[in-house]
Amino acid sequence: VSDPKRDRERQDAQYARRLQEEEVRRAGAGTQQPAGGRGQAGRGQDWGAAGEGRTLGGAPGPQADDAALSPEARRQLQLEAAERRQNNVPGVSQQKAAEMREKQQKAELLGKLAEYYHKQKLELPMGLNSATAEQLRKHWEHVRSKDAGAQQVLGS
């Protein structure tokens, strides 16, 4: 008497092996890999010879004037590099990346404002959820400047 559950597991295992063998064949087209295709991935690569790399916000390679940058200038360069990385999301158009970034900023500001109003035991103003990120930012700045206690909410 055969157990249907064991039969199904055996069939699944066979199918997985077949798919894995097919994937190894496709990946190994033109290169030689040992049987099973395991244990040899990346063996020919020398990661130590990859070069100096780039510093955040900097150009390739070491820079002599990098040490001369003030902490504020270095921070500004790092901020610009982070913004460039956010704008260049692989597989996403720049317009969609900007929409996603705006949505994230809006969610963060709504969270800060909700926390502030909760701590003040007040209700969120009506329509706050439909405000733009810029409107929320201005409202947060207004609330923060009006109440010194808001400076402590989530580290602003």
Which of 94 and 39 is assigned the larger pLDDT? 94
Q: What is the largest CA-CA distance in the chain?
A: 80
Q: What is the pLDDT of residues 89-148, one digit of tens each?
A: 788 888 888 888 889 999 999 999 999 999 989 998 888 889 999 999 999 999 888 876
Opening angle at CA 147, ends 103 and 139, nearest 5: 30
The pTM of this model reads 0.46
- pLDDT digits 0-9 by tens, 99-108: 888 899 999 9
Distance CA 109, CA 115 (A): 10
Q: Residue 105 and residue 135: Cα distance in Å, rounded?
A: 11
Res. 47 pLDDT band, cuts 50 70 90 = low
The angle, 0 to 180 degrees and rounded to 10, between the axes of the packed helices 133-146 and 94-119 is 30
In the chain, the amino acid numbered 79 is: L
